[in-house]
Amino acid sequence: DVVMTQSPLSLPVTLGQPASISCRSSQSLVYSDGNTYLNWFQQRPGQSPRRLIYKVSNRDSGVPDRFSGSGSGTDFTLKISRVEAEDLGVYYCMQGTYWPYTFGQGTKLEIK
């Protein structure tokens, strides 16, 4: 199985400041069709996961533009330009290139 490793696992942030989460896969996530199926999810306390980013850098509908995704191959990053209170929660990267699809361990974004 493809192992997804996130860092850090805990990210204390100051509101209004930027934040960055790293995700590394144990093998390249480039699929045979040329696409890289790396997604980012947000899970607020008590809520279902919500997809923020698909195929590395595409924001889902309704996702604020302060969220951005980047990366290639095995190294990926989710950035929040200015953290707001509603951004607190756990963030997961997930690969959809190989079955079984796998998630990272999750990064808990919390107020410093």
User: What are the residues binding other proteins (CB under 8 A)?
Assistant: 39, 41, 43, 48-51, 54, 60, 92, 94, 96, 99-106
- Pick the closer one to other proteins by CB: 16 or 46: 46
Rounded least distance, CB 104 to other proteins, Å:
8
Rounded least distance, CB 80 to other proteins, Å:
20
Q: Is the dihedral of CA 51, 94, 86, 18 positive or negative?
A: negative
Rounded least distance, CB 71 to other proteins, Å:
18
Integer Cα distance of 38 and 18 in angstroms: 22
